[in-house]
């Protein structure tokens, strides 16, 4: 438990330190004086002046801060009189460094562990069954285009969107052709990936660990239902109405069976409670070269950043309930649980949190980096410095808006704890 708490402090603290480090490095590179840079908050443990900057190490390790010389709105030196280009570079450097940290962590994740992938085996949905598709069928060609893995399959399906295509599938030892009669329609799903019901990670102190489940165990049965793939298994657990389920699994050549306690967790997006036992699926890992890992990490980071914008928009538009907004308690909880899942899961979560922090700071709210750039840009457009009163009003509005969001987030955090 203690080691998990230390990891929570490292993860959360690093996100803020890296952000402030971005401001520091670009300020120095732009020739702007920096008065103070601190790792941590609160009482100062150590301080050292180097050139014009005092570097501090403070007691509370959850973040850090930077104080730029002339950062006051009425200052006649330093940051306040710098051209817009320098101000923008220094301000944007914080979110940019969070984005770079997200790329780096994802790159390490992909470089060490590889990228999870799916084979082209399928589980047909209702529409697919009408065309004779069966569980475990392996798609090897679409319109004579070879399909080596699921990512290629998705690209080819997108290519032939709203067209009829032919499939060549492997079923056991037989090769079967399905002529060009399957309409590829985004609204109609014919199949999903077949994922073997094999465990990769067992969460510490979870019901699965207590009952003796281990890495590489294969789930055979839940109650009286035979299990054919992971999705079916997780749906049975998620939708559990009873606190105990009978479980049968195989390890090497030995079959085990036992009843397992179901834990329930609040769905962070919705309000429904779902059953969990604390296991993670084993997926094939595709090893990547140094360059491939970097490219894939960059693509993944851009995707997560875009999805963060989309989710925030949906919350504002009311498509996602505002109860899904989480605050520091939720972030700490997710990080603590990430540490219990292991380093692979934690690296992925760490990267996502860093990317989220980048996106949030870009919003045009006074007090956030995006809001400061907006105000400085308006000053430049009007060719006039705003008065101290205008800056104060802007920041009061920013404090009020951010404060309301924090109160809502904390309220949701407390509500989750009470409901749990």
Q: Looking at residue 189, what is its pLDDT? A: 74
Distance from C-alpha of 202 to C-alpha of 279, rounded to nearest angstrom: 5
Which helix or strand (DSSP H or E) is residue 203 part of?
none
Q: Looking at residue 413, what is its pLDDT? A: 61
Looking at 2.60.40.420, 3.80.10.10, 2.60.40.1180, 2.30.42.10, the CATH number of the domain 199-283 comes to 2.30.42.10
Cα–chain-centroid distance for residue 248? 32
Q: Looking at residue 287, what is its pLDDT? A: 87
Please name the residue that has the structure tokens 């599938």: 169
Fold adopted by 122-193: Pdz3 Domain (2.30.42)
- Give the 3-state secondary structure percentages of the chain, helix then strand then coil, rounded to 5: 50, 25, 25
Tens-digit pLDDT profile for residues 176-212:
888 766 677 655 678 888 999 999 999 888 999 999 9
Q: DSSP string covering 82-106, please?
A: S-HHHHHHHHHHHHHHHHHHHHHHH
> How distant, in Å, are the alpha carbons of 19, 32, 356, 361, 399 from that of 368?
12, 20, 14, 5, 10
The token pair that represents 333 in the structure block: 């909880």
pTM for the predicted model, two decimal places? 0.81
Q: How confident is the model at residue 73 (pLDDT cuts 50, 70, 90)?
A: confident
Is residue 53 within 8 A of residue 34, CB to CB? The reply is yes
Among 34-48, 143-157, 224-238, 331-345, the minimum mean pLDDT is found in 331-345
Q: Looking at residue 110, what is its pLDDT? A: 93
Per-domain residue ranges of the chain: 2-114+350-419, 122-193, 199-283
Domains 122-193 and 199-283 share a fold: yes
Among 205-219, 295-309, 381-395, the minimum mean pLDDT is found in 381-395
């Amino acid at each position: 438990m203690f080691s998990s708490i230390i990891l929570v402090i490292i993860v959360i603290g690093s996100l803020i330190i890296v952000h402030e480090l971005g401001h520091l490095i670009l300020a120095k590179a732009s020739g702007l004086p920096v008065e103070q840079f601190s790792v941590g908050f609160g009482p100062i443990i150590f301080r050292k002046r180097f050139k014009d900057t005092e570097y501090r190490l403070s007691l509370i390790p959850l973040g850090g801060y930077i104080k730029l010389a002339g950062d006051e709105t009425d200052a006649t030196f330093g940051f306040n009189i710098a051209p817009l280009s320098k101000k923008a570079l220094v301000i944007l450097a914080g979110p940019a460094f969070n984005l770079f940290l997200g790329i780096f962590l994802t790159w390490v994740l992909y470089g060490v562990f590889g990228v999870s992938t799916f084979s082209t085996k399928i589980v047909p949905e209702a529409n697919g069954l009408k065309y004779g598709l069966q569980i475990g069928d392996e798609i090897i060609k679409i319109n004579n285009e070879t399909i080596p893995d699921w990512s290629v399959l998705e690209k080819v399906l997108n290519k032939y969107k709203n067209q009829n295509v032919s499939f060549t599938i492997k079923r056991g030892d037989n090769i079967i052709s399905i002529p060009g009669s399957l309409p590829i329609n985004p609204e109609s799903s014919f199949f999903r990936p077949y994922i073997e019901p094999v465990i990769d990670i067992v969460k510490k102190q979870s019901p699965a660990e207590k009952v003796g489940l281990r890495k590489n165990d294969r789930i055979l049965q839940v109650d009286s239902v035979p299990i054919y793939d992971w999705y079916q298994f997780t749906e049975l657990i998620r939708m559990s109405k009873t606190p105990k389920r009978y479980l049968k699994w195989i390890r090497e050549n030995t079959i085990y069976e036992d009843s397992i306690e179901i834990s329930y967790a609040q769905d962070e997006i919705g309000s429904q409670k779902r059953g969990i036992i604390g296991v993670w699926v084993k997926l094939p890992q595709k090893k990547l070269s140094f360059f491939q890992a970097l490219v894939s990490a960059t693509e993944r980071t851009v995707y997560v950043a875009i999805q963060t914008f989309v989710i925030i928009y949906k919350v504002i538009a009311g498509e996602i309930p505002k109860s899904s907004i989480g605050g520091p308690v939720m972030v700490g909880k997710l990080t603590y649980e990430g540490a219990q899942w292991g380093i692979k899961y934690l690296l992925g979560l760490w990267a996502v949190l860093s990317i989220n922090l980048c996106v949030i700071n870009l919003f045009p709210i006074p007090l956030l980096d995006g809001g400061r750039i907006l105000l400085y840009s308006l000053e430049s457009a009007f060719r006039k410095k705003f008065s101290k009163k205008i800056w104060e009003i802007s920041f009061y509005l920013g404090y009020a808006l951010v404060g309301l969001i924090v109160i809502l987030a904390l309220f949701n955090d407390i509500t989750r704890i009470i409901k749990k």
